[in-house]
Structure 1
Amino acid sequence: MNTKVKKIIYDFVWITIGTLLLTLSLDLFLAPNRIAPGGISGLAIVLQHLFGWPVGAVILLINIPLFIISIKILGTGFGAKTLYSTMLLGVSVDVFSFLKPLTHDPMLAAVYGGIIMGLGLGIVFKYGATTGGTDMAAMTIHKYVPFLSVGRILLIIDFIIIVLAGIVFTPELALYALATEFLGIKVIDIVQEGTDYERIAIIISDKYEDISKSILYDMNRGVTELKGVGAYSKKDKNVLLCVVTRNEVTNLRELVKKADPAAFVILTTAHEVMGEGFRDI
């Protein structure tokens, strides 16, 4: 089995895990408590309450024609992974609907449903798929309304669905749905970007050579010299750029302070650093 085939299998295994986590968030927490976050899943929960339709069947009934329309308008960029995840979600939600909800407290349902939903979606996104739904709708609408970004269209669609849930259910449940949506987005970010953020240091000092050597040899970290010009003095400046882990920030401060207490230092956060000394590309 070659590397490419292994990679495809690996991706589909993780997409399956992510989709099933999303399924559990719907069956164990959100749908039984009438918490309808944005997206096709939220709309399906509202329609289930109104007409008694199964959530999974509604997800499929909306997503399949939407998928076909999107391919005709946007091309085949969605790919097999998204189709697989979309179909699996629609089927698995109804297959596992026999599971009893873990809580009937809407606060607990919103919190844990949002966390598990975000974890599942984050895994699906990380391995190159989506669960269809409003992503495809937003891209299709953007084709005809280009002055609205895809992100803004997604927000509008999700807002409409949550407002609809507030009308059909109660305003309080709509607020819980908003909390679920917010938690889900934060967890998606954590899954995709991680939590161990590195720090970017930009150092301006006349003693840049001493500081550079300390970073290279005492901290064993790479450093880049950039050429700059002071806007007021018009003098050439050497600017040091380096990336360190969170645990190394204190050490970096001490090295810079020892070499030049008057140095100008900017520290900011890098959500993802790839390359030598950090994670692989």
Structure 2
Amino acid sequence: MKNTDIKKSKLLLDYLGISIGCMIMALSFNSFFVPSKIAPGGFSGLATVLYHFTGFPIGIVTLILTIPLFSVSIKLLGAKFGLKSFYGTIFFSICIDFIIRTPPLTNDYFLASVFGGILLGIGIGFIFRFGGTTGGTDLLAAILHHYFRGIPVSTWLLILDSIVVLIAGISFRNIEVTLYSILTIYITMRLIDLILEGISYAKAFYIISDYSSQMADKIINELDRGVTTLSGKGMYTKNNKDVLLCVVNRSQVYDLKEMVRSVDPNAFVILADVHEVLGEGFKNIDKK
């Protein structure tokens, strides 16, 4: 297959993924959020508030609020990102106003916030995964992430959406709706991270010890895990140190902690989540 054909297929797949995400998002609004007056952040959340007071269509209002961000996104994030975002906004607006016209699935605030949040997180996660946004605060979050790389997109979404929830709470004068909206945002954020980063199923140990050689031998022979030695230097003591890097399954975390304690009780250990491991002993690197 030629490179041009591969690129076309990839682009088609991206737009398909964005379309699926938009439909899932529209389902979350029409089946859960709008009937319960839950505003799950974003321009669509603002549009939900406006809908209950004026009857203006949510999709059209969301589109109007989002248009000014497109010129900025195209300049900063590239034409492809801007075009995908424009498509996502247009298609989401069409879905929520015309295509996904589902009846309310529950009148319970809690169920609406939980299941609506799950669907919304899956929808936004799909869209982000395929290189787009639906405009609104998720587009604004992507722009802010461009300037502040240290803060994840999901964190920016949490900040921006919290502002929207505050506005909604004041407008509806209902503290329960506000609290359930906050729950929805948290669930949505966790689902976005899950889709973008995957499930944390492994742990990485960084071990600094004066007995690194004995430690490595014990891990290799008794735990049957590979160990990599990194070169480090303590800036306080100015002494060179070996840093052992070892990735284990969750079930082996306790065993490795006990192993480190038995060899060197004074060892310095950093334990970190690992979302994906490719290679021997874990996931096949060729597996798609």
TM-score grouping bracket, smaller chain normalisation: 0.7 to 0.9
Alignment match, 2:246? 242
CA distance in 2 between partners of 1:256 and 1:160 (Å): 46
Relative to the length of structure 1, the TM-score reads 0.81
The structure 2 residue matched to 1:213, chosen from 197, 212, 217, is 217
- Greater shift, 111-120 or 221-230, is seen at 221-230
Question: Aligned-pair distance for 1:26?
Answer: 0.5
Question: Aligned-pair distance for 1:155?
Answer: 5.6
Secondary structure of 1:104's partner?
A: coil
Gap change, CA 1:218 and 1:157, over 3 Å in 2: closer
The reply on whether 1:106 has 2:109 as its aligned counterpart is yes
- Decide whether the 8 Å contact of 2:84 with 2:131 is kept in 1: yes
The reply on whether 1:184 has 2:185 as its aligned counterpart is no
- Decide whether the 8 Å contact of 1:29 with 1:101 is kept in 2: yes
Relative to the length of structure 2, the TM-score reads 0.80
The reply on whether 1:94 has 2:94 as its aligned counterpart is no
The reply on whether 1:223 has 2:213 as its aligned counterpart is no
The structure 1 residue matched to 2:44, chosen from 33, 36, 41, is 41
Deviations 1:107-128 (A, max 9, x none): 2111111111111111211221
- Decide whether the 8 Å contact of 2:200 with 2:273 is kept in 1: no
The reply on whether 1:131 has 2:131 as its aligned counterpart is no
Alignment match, 2:60? 57
Question: Aligned-pair distance for 1:75?
Answer: 5.8
CA distance in 1 between partners of 2:101 and 2:55 (Å): 15
Secondary structure of 1:78's partner?
A: helix
Amino acid in structure 2 at the alignment position of 1:199: K
Amino acid in structure 2 at the alignment position of 1:67: F
The aligned length equals 277
Gap change, CA 1:212 and 1:79, over 3 Å in 2: same
Alignment match, 2:178? 174
CA distance in 2 between partners of 1:141 and 1:9 (Å): 27
- Decide whether the 8 Å contact of 1:203 with 1:263 is kept in 2: no
- Decide whether the 8 Å contact of 2:81 with 2:131 is kept in 1: no
Gap change, CA 1:235 and 1:267, over 3 Å in 2: closer
Structure 1 segments unaligned to the other structure (5+ residues): none
Aligned-pair RMSD on alpha carbons? Answer: 3.4
- Greater shift, 22-31 or 238-247, is seen at 238-247
- Decide whether the 8 Å contact of 1:256 with 1:263 is kept in 2: no
Gap change, CA 1:17 and 1:136, over 3 Å in 2: closer
Secondary structure of 2:225's partner?
A: coil
Structure 2 segments unaligned to the other structure (5+ residues): none
Gap change, CA 1:248 and 1:139, over 3 Å in 2: closer
CA distance in 2 between partners of 1:275 and 1:241 (Å): 15
Q: How does 1:136-151 map to 2 (within 5 A)?
A: 136-137=139-140
Alignment match, 2:256? 252
- Decide whether the 8 Å contact of 1:29 with 1:103 is kept in 2: yes
CA distance in 2 between partners of 1:232 and 1:67 (Å): 49
Deviations 1:202-247 (A, max 9, x none): 2234442233234345544332223345677765443312222212
